[in-house]
Structure 1
Amino acid sequence: MGTEPYKAAFFFSPPAHLLRSSILLWLPLLFISEAAVAHGDDQERFVLFDIKSHWSNAPALSSWDVSSPHCNWSGIRCSNGSVTSMSLPNISITEPIPPFFCNLTSLAHLDLSYNDIPGGFPTCLYRCSNLRYLDLSQNLLVGELPSDIHKLSSQLLHLDLSYNNFIGDIPPSIGRLLSLHTLNLHDNFFDGSFPAELGNLSMLESLTLAYNPFASPRIPVEFGNMTRLKYLWMTYANLVGEIPEDLGRLADLDHLDLARNGLSGSIPAAIWSLEKLTTLYLYDNKLTGEISGKIAALNLEEIDVSTNRLTGSIPKEFVNLRNLRILFMYNNSLSGEIPRGIGLLRDLRDIRLFDNHLVGVLPPELGQHSHLTNLEVSNNRISGSLPEGLCANRALKSVVVFNNNLTGELSASLADCYGLNDIQLYNNNFSGEFPRRIWSASVNLTTVLIDRNHFTGVLPDKLQRNLTRLVMNDNRFSGRIPTLAPRLLVFRGSNNMFSGEIPAELTGISRLQVLLLDGNRISGSIPTSISNLKFLTQLDLSGNLLSGGIPAKLGLLEVLTKLDLSNNRLSGSIPREIGNLKLSLLNLTYNQLSGEVPLQLQNRAYERSFLFNPGLCSFKRMVNLNICAHAGPNKLSERLIPISLVLGGVMFLMLVVTGMLMCRRRSDAADLPAFKLTSFHQLDFTQRHIIRGLTEANLIGSGGSGQVYRVNLQNRAGDAVVAVKKIRNSGKLDWKMERTFEAEVKVLSSIRHCSIVKLLCCISSADCKLLVYEYMEKGSLDQWLYGRRRTRSGSGHFQPPLDWRKRLGIAIDAAKGLCYMHHHCTPPVIHRDVKSSNILLDSGFGAKIADFGLARMLMKVSEPESASAIAGTFGYMAPECGHSKKINEKVDVYSFGVVLLELTTGRKAQDGGEHEGLAGWAARRLRDKGGFMGMIDEELSDELNYMDDIGTVLRLGIECTRRNAMLRPSMKEVLRKLTDIVGLGR
């Protein structure tokens, strides 16, 4: 049949009555069709409204308004009128995914990342049969992944579960999601294994398993079957064994990161043949052997194989890596020379080859053909001179070549690098005049370490203001000491030929910690302005030509530990204020001092500190010192008579008091309740003195775990004050709980550290426990931070705010206490409740850690577990505390990080907005704004000299409060970073 009949039929015009009948026939069908569409729309709208109701705490969903089409709602995308995409990242969702979620039957794209969704893996998503993209990263999901996870959509291309709290094994069934292109499981707590079945994912392009505490797995050879894989990230996954040669079959691999594991054996030759490989990270393993095989991966941009046990030489073929930007091979046992052609690579930015056995000279073309920013080849056996063109492209920021055999003069062209901030040339054989222009050319210069060379020259009148460390001892510098940089922390200028006087303008460098100018030709007197250096810990001016007296104001340097003024021409007496210092080293020998040595210094610790000062004398017998004339036999007897009388009177009083106490003890026995005292230190009080002090007038604080009293033991010698925490049992302790409590008290009482509050004793009865601590006069840190502490004297005046120096000192003291507990106690002690109210301050604002959770243990006598299972206070509590019993010392690191954020921002731990604590607020604010200035406590806004330090501590607080415990530093690392700020120097 042709087409014409169809045309005729198409243009046929029916009679009017048939047309009316046709309309009547089709009209109901039309209404039914429109109703069906409307019903579908309504159904999806109802589902979305149910989701909005379920996630009612998410303020962003308030824009979902019934008056507008749901396909126009925020985060919703539709196709043909059906919801196909929901993208709601970072909107503070705090409830689980509801079971009716997949009633959105066309949903293909779901992004709920950066929220606080709790619970286990949402198996309700199995019903989303069209799902192709699923991102649940950065949430609070817990537990194990279900063994039937393969029931997710067979069309799934992207699965991201990173930055959650999953544990256990990665189930083998995940290898049945054959359509996957991306599988991100990094930054969880998987502590089991990952399956070889992952190798079945032949379509996979990206696999991330990094930062999980797996149970020492090996890399399966089956991983070589993922032939489309481009990105493999397995850093910090506890990997062991050798890298399988089968990874060489991943021809499309672009990024391979197996760093920070326990991998051994050699690097497979096949790895170096991956032609598309651009990034190779194998650092921090136990890899051995030489780099061998054909280097065919000519697209390599970054190589980091540092901190292994590699031997042999740097392959000459590396000169053919035309795209190479980063070459890190430090901390190995490499030998031979650096290939000369390395200096011809046009993209090379950073080369770090330190801590090896390299010889020969540096490639002379280094810096001439590329924007080289960093050169580090220290601790090798490299000879020759520094390449002339290091700063040819003015990009160099750091040159670190110490502990080599380098010679020659330093090129003045280094001053052309305006961004240069770090020069470390010490312990070489450099000679000639140090280029004067370097001191002023680079405004970013912070570190100059050039000691133990043969440099000559003079320093400028003023040093670069950003300089923090200047170490130039054991050279041949001459001239006057310049006006020191205001930010300088360390100045070591020993054993040079400096002359003239010490500049009096020392007030502007109040942050200086170390000042060593011994072995020079400095003359004049010691300026009294040296007392402005409040942070000074070491002062050595020995071996100079100084004259005049020792300034009494040196006694104001409270943190000074080493003082050496020997071999000068100092005269006069030793100021008695020097005796107030807590010195580990004091050397005043070979001077012209006279008079009596201060009484505080007349002890064996300092008996050799005053030799060869003929005019000095002492009351006590000391090496090579005369007995002072006024302390002869007659004078001595005159002193002893009143002393004897006083001692006799004291002894008589002690006898009387002892008798009274014995009588009182007998009478006390009848009226004392059944209290048991367990002492951990030598005590000069009894339980009666403590119990009688528990009055309303002595109450200084109360909380959920009990009351705290300030008890003045006025009836004892010394008028001692103690703090008593009274904890009332919520029920009768059974014998197991009692023994557990006593055992834990015994552990904590054995801790002896100056940054931990001393637990003196425990007094027990059937219904309460009394914990007796040393009294901390300034109270708790939180009372000072938030400006609400009133003096107990009743004056009603608010205490002044804490300045930055006090805050930093408090942070360091508290870190010392926690570091001791974590790293020096056996077994380690975890505090579990670090917070600003548990950091107490003494009269000098020294900080001590207090309250180790014993109170909480007593409050929960019905629970079978001891304090070991009890964790934290809201705002300070690490994310893992809410779901895992396998907590470790990183929970304390998290809590301490919150304290650092309190110290720097002035905000409370719970003050992070409606749905997050301070830690979440700080991380988000820094991420969104990119700077910290708007986050700093207003009370610190005037301390402009310390802004960099405040920012450093703030960032450290954010680092300590990372959600993944594995990424947090240890307390040893935290303490090191804090003390680096103080800058004791090398």
Structure 2
Amino acid sequence: MHRDLSNNSFMPSGVPSWFTELPGLMTLTMQSVGISGKLPQKLFSLRDLQHVILNDNELNDTLDMGNTINDGLDLVDLRNNKITSVTVYSSLDSKLLKLEGNPLCTDSLLSNTLLCTDQLTEFPTMLPFSDVQCPHPFVETIFFRSPSFGDVRKFLPELHDNLSRTVSSCTPNKLGLVPYVDDVYLKVDIKACPVNQKRFNYSQVLNCFNLTLQTYKPPENFGPYYVKSHPYPFHDKASRAILIGVVTGSVLLVVGLALIGVYAMRQKKRAKKLVSQNNPFASWGSTPEDIGEAPKLKSARAFTLEELKLSTNDFKQINAIGEGGYGTVYRGKLLDGQLIAIKRSKQGSMQGGLEFKTEIELLSRVHHNNLVGLVGFCFEKGEKMLVYEFISNGTLSEALYGMKGVQLDWSMRLKIALDSARGLAYLHDHANPPIIHRDIKSTNILLDSKMTAKVADFGLSLLVSDSEEGELCTNVKGTLGYLDPEYYMTQQLTAKSDVYSFGVVLLELIVAKPPIYEKKYIVREVKTALDMEDTMYCGLKDVMDPVLYKMGGLLGFPRFVRMALQCVEEVGPDRPKMNNVVREIEMIMQDNGLTPGSMSASSSFSVDSTTRTFAPRYPYSSTSTPSTTYEMDSRAFEYSGGFPSQGSLKNRNTSPKPRSSRERGLPG
């Protein structure tokens, strides 16, 4: 336990009684806070105490540390107080005590002793806990942000064992730790040597030493951390010279071939111009809104601007059915009678250009029963429009908040949760490369005429490979209330960020209110009211949707609540994967006599690698309720409800009785 209350504007007072009431106290730091009086002997005999730093206060009288001083105590800094005398015992080590600036150091026998001359100005240099030697070790530094340690060497064996288990597949018994203090934080160099080889390869470094995803959990005493890797020579100088020679030769060869082909390219220039006229994205990049390369499509119909004007009566306002940060959504009808929804981007929107490119590429290559699919697009005369099949029942938020005049019973909410979980699980585990949505919310879950849920609006989504997941994002994006706080604070995006947002949607299915309402945050309100000993409502009757307890039939409700709270755990590794969420909802429904419908995400999807031979059915992906997208540099971002760590399920005394293996926590 560490206490640092320095430089606060407290009212001057005597020595607090709680000084001796904290048996686990390791470091006590209270500089310049105005405390006065005599320090109690009991303070210095606390078993775990290592540092006492109380300089620049009003402590007075005689310093009597007693004859039972803790052996682990290695620093007592009482400089610049008003101590007039000190009682010396044989057990007192004068090297640990600093009394300069007190009256007893003025014209006394102690004036020229270590007690009064302030000779100890630095902590002793820490020697390596364990070191390994090899020609090409891999080194990375962990910065631990917990408060200062008294003697970190006492805790290094636990850290060494913990790290050794993590990297045992790459460097068994060849891991060294070199700790040192930088300002107030502890830094530890991890030094690892390869086994039966000269150097580590790329795969070993990525698989064993990639601790930047926050997937590694250090011992509890070490607290939060971040990692900085040192440059590593994967190739020696000779190999590098060969590589440079090969690359240089290849470049010269390419340049030669390019010069030879100049004549042929000029001859084909006129033909390419004719071909580009038939390419709907031939003009991509001509305006600042067109970010990056033109969209790459697998299958999608290109509509003309005139076709879409005709279908919406020239985009009359009466046909507008929703509006969001991207633009406006219109209802239309094609000449063959098909109803469509058209998302039209705002003119001159820089965000619109990027979202248009992202969504059109993603939707043209992924197909799943619970994902929005693309009918077509229009890229003409500065217009960027996406076309979907019209969905009659709108968004989940409209259904929950009573805007559609329907009431969803518990079994229907379970089905909606399962449908949307299957769609999201497909994006994470079956798309290639995986897709992180980044904007899961109830307004981005659509309900068709059969109340089948479909995940929509891929404007903020990212394609990520396994090696890219968890890398730093320069712009953190998402919607207030649903945004993963760990993603916002660390700027490291993983699939678990989508899981957090989906967990908020699951709580929304219970409460039927927006994630932030009346200055309250839904996650905190549910955790605060939670009582798992209430087997029917889990203590949530006062915060849940009145429709639910009036209609009854809350089958599997405690398991659903437990799963939802696991999804909104503050730390990503503590949250389940979406495939596990799908299986848990299926089991909740099956165990309570409900039919979960078709098979789970792993067997209910299809990837279209060829042109489809039938008319696709795709919904739209806009929102009918305005939502706000936040970037990292937005000064408006603030969670009014906060993210209280003490309200988490694992810290409450309301845990349920032992459960069967099926009811236990979901794997992460």
TM-score between both structures, scaled by the size of structure 2: 0.46
Please identify the structure whose Cα radius of gyration is greater: 1
Higher relative contact order (CA 8 A, sep 6+): 2
* TM-score (norm. length: structure 1): 0.32
